[in-house]
Amino acid sequence: MFKSDRSALGALLLLACTATVLPVAGMAPAGLLPDLALGPWYWLFLGALWSVLLAGPLRALQGLVARLVLAQRVRRDAKSAVGSLHQALIGAAVAASSDAFMVVSPAREVVYANAAFRSGREATGPARLPAILLEDPPGRGTQRSLWDYLDDGLAQWSGEALVEMGSGVFAERRVSATRVAGGYLVVGILDNVTARAYRERLEFMASHDALTELLNRPGFEMRLAARMAEQAPGRRRGFGVIQLDLDHFSAINDSLGHEIGDRLLQAVGARIARRLRGGDCLARFGGDEFCMLIDAAEDGDALESAAREIQSVFDAPFMLDGVEVFCRASLGLVHAPLDGASAQDLIKYADSAMNRVKRGGRGGLERFSREINEQAVRRLRLATELRLALRDQQFCLHFQPAIDARTGSICAFEALVRWNHPVDGMISPAEFIPIAEETGVINELGDWVFREAAAALGRWDAAGGARVGVSVNLSARQLLQPDIAMRLAESARAAGIAPRRLTLEITETALMRDPEFAASQVRRLKRRGFPIALDDFGTGYSSLSYLKHFRIDQLKIDRSFVRGLPGDRDDIAITRTIVAMARHLGLAIVAEGVETAAQAAYLRELGCEMLQGFHFSRPLPEAAALACLREDALALAG
């Protein structure tokens, strides 16, 4: 026996030692067990298979081997009986399993149920056949009893079904039913933890941000809508929404890498979450945008106080892989229910207030007002109409003269773009230039301004005007275009104007957006012959090293330092310092915003070569500018 069945015996030994063992006595369906006088039988759970394989008490290993040998011999002697028994008990339940198993008779009576099945149902007494509902046909939403389905002669079924758990409560479970000898059904009801956990994870991901595991925008909107639905008429409890945007986050990403950027977003989310109270919630909308529901904010003052507490999380640096990272944030506030009637409105209005902070210099907070909303609507409209304005030739150039401080004659003009809107009339560049920057229209608009300025110089030359120069503003976006030097040189050549007569004005902020690339761009422009002026000097990053690094030709003193002259001591000190420094560096000096004779006289005595401002002339249409050139000079007022 041992020689002839060595492999079979080894398999039985392995299975018997690892199987779940359950006595059959007192539980087996009548008539299923063979009439074998071999002592008590056992059911062994062999993974997904139940079988009667051995007889006798399970004792020491030697006794187990003897019983297995005996069972094998009996099986050979009574092959038909034991074979039938083995087939009949496939799929039977085990009491030790955490999944529910039962055996159901042809009369739909539960003749066996394990402890997992009884848990949560009848504590004592016979087990009751539970209702099990499945979709039939699949995808139609109609339901049918599993028992009716199996009565149609089906031998086996498995799939998702709704199982009665007790007290009329149904739960989705994985059900497997197999018909065995005698018409009995062996039914397993599996908790299907893996599938449920997967579904729960999918549901979580649908409403949460993958990076920070905070709510995402759809999840936040649902939470906000639910909070608004709680507002009972006459008992409205105020709450607020705060939109937060990190300032200059792209610079952190570019300089330290996206991995550090992601770590920063996670750290910011964690810090803010620690400052929130019960009932509040925090979401990340993507990028560096966060949004908060402040549940207890009875009025605008309470909301502003909560916002300042949120701002304080940025007072200390963030330590990321041993690197100290400082960042600030711009916050927009909206108070409900007065400021908005829907979750979408509240988020939109908070975003409008936050964007106003960013346009005003960043790092602050502002509460939404109707004025802000009107401005946001107007900005959106103008952003849409900007491209149409280029196509429909709604833009024009005005020219403001710069005066030679010694002679009083015109030595140059600054080209300033104006938008002659068909409905709104003349729109200030202070309003539409930032929109053009944000939308990218500034590149196309800037090219047009340069071409028109060069063409105007050509027309003035042909009309006999003095041969002066024109300065043109070059935006940060334009400066980042790799081929900008070549394109501007081609435009100047097409107009027949030497590049030395077209000064390019660049702001400090534009230079410092990408200093190394900006320096290389400035060198390319200068090799093409274009003079470079640093516009609004002293109002940007206030770093003096780039005066040498960027090979600037001209400094323009910002109007904010001219306004207080000659009486303001601080403005006097600043302008004196700028003029002295420019002289030592060999740079030409232009003072902007000169509005009085006293300012003009002081700046002339200080050593400024060129003066520009309303005291001499407002920006003029092209024809008026040409008329001034024909006179060849403007007298200094006063």
pLDDT of 212 > 70? The answer is: yes
pLDDT of 42 > 70? The answer is: no
pLDDT of 107 > 60? The answer is: yes
d(Cα 216, Cα 106) in Å, to the nearest integer?
A: 53
Q: In the prediction, which pLDDT does 160 show? A: 82
Q: Dump pLDDT digits (tens) for 359-391.
A: 887 889 999 888 887 888 898 899 999 989 999
Q: Dump pLDDT digits (tens) for 170-190.
A: 888 888 888 887 888 888 887
Strand partners, 469: 412
Percent of the chain clearing pLDDT 90 (strictly above): 46
Mean pLDDT of 309-313: 94
Q: How confident is the model at residue 21 (pLDDT cuts 50, 70, 90)?
A: very low
Mean pLDDT of 27-34: 40
d(Cα 27, Cα 408) in Å, to the nearest integer?
A: 116
pLDDT of 404 > 70? The answer is: yes
For residue 381, what are its two tokens? 């409209």
Mean pLDDT of 503-520: 87
Q: In the prediction, which pLDDT does 97 show? A: 63
Q: In the prediction, which pLDDT does 59 show? A: 35
Mean pLDDT of 66-90: 40
Q: In the prediction, which pLDDT does 420 show? A: 96
Mean pLDDT of 592-619: 96
Q: Dump pLDDT digits (tens) for 346-357.
A: 999 999 999 989
CA 425 to chain centre: 38
pLDDT of 193 > 70? The answer is: no
Helix (H) or strand (E) segment spanning residue 255:
helix 249-256
Q: How confident is the model at residue 530 (pLDDT cuts 50, 70, 90)?
A: very high
Distances, alpha carbon 278 to alpha carbons 230, 294, 332, in Å? 16, 9, 21
Cα–Cα nearest to 104, from 24, 179, 185, 182 = 185
Domains annotated for the chain, with CATH where assigned, are: 6-88 (no CATH), 100-191 (3.30.450), 212-368 (3.30.70.270), 395-631 (3.20.20.450)
Q: Is 138 exposed, middle or buried (0-12, 13-18, 19+ CB in 10 A)?
A: exposed
Cα–Cα nearest to 470, from 394, 417, 405, 427 = 417
Q: Dump pLDDT digits (tens) for 481-490.
A: 999 999 999 9
18 CB-near residues (< 8 Å, 6+ apart): none
d(Cα 82, Cα 72) in Å, to the nearest integer?
A: 10
Q: In the prediction, which pLDDT does 502 show? A: 98
Q: To the nearest 5 percent, what fractions of the chain are helix, strand and coil?
A: 45, 25, 30
618-624 contacts at long range (C-beta below 8 A, 24 or more positions apart): 618/400, 619/398, 619/399, 619/400, 619/414, 619/416, 619/418, 620/398, 620/399, 620/400, 620/401, 621/396, 621/398, 621/399, 622/396, 622/397, 622/398, 622/399, 622/456, 622/459
Q: What is the residue whose two structure tokens read 């020689």? A: 3
d(Cα 192, Cα 100) in Å, to the nearest integer?
A: 11
Q: Is 454 exposed, middle or buried (0-12, 13-18, 19+ CB in 10 A)?
A: buried
pLDDT of 540 > 80? The answer is: no
Q: In the prediction, which pLDDT does 36 show? A: 35
Q: Which of the residue ranges 47-56, 81-90, 284-293, 531-540 has the most confident prediction, judged by mean pLDDT? A: 284-293
Least confident of 232-246, 326-340, 470-484: 232-246
Give the torsion sign (CA, 246, 252, 257, 263): negative
Mean pLDDT of 260-274: 95
pLDDT of 122 > 50? The answer is: no
Strand partners, 51: 44
Strand partners, 367: 333
Distances, alpha carbon 75 to alpha carbons 53, 81, 83, 180, 215, in Å? 9, 8, 8, 20, 63
Higher confidence at residue 129 or residue 589?
A: 589
Q: How confident is the model at residue 229 (pLDDT cuts 50, 70, 90)?
A: confident
Q: Are 531 and 511 in contact (CB under 8 A)?
A: no
d(Cα 19, Cα 381) in Å, to the nearest integer?
A: 74
Q: Is 88 exposed, middle or buried (0-12, 13-18, 19+ CB in 10 A)?
A: buried
Q: Are 627 and 597 in contact (CB under 8 A)?
A: no
- If you average pLDDT over every residue of the chain, what do you get? 80
Q: Are 80 and 28 in contact (CB under 8 A)?
A: no
Q: How confident is the model at residue 271 (pLDDT cuts 50, 70, 90)?
A: very high
Cα–Cα nearest to 363, from 333, 331, 334, 332 = 331
Q: How confident is the model at residue 121 (pLDDT cuts 50, 70, 90)?
A: low
- Find the distance separating the first CA and the last CA of the chain, reported in whole Å: 129
Q: In the prediction, which pLDDT does 413 show? A: 98
For residue 603, what are its two tokens? 């700046």
Q: Which of the residue ranges 133-137, 205-209, 323-327, 622-626 has the most confident prediction, judged by mean pLDDT? A: 622-626
Higher confidence at residue 444 or residue 179?
A: 444
Q: In the prediction, which pLDDT does 129 show? A: 85
Q: Dump pLDDT digits (tens) for 548-579.
A: 778 899 999 999 999 999 999 999 999 999 99
Mean pLDDT of 415-430: 94
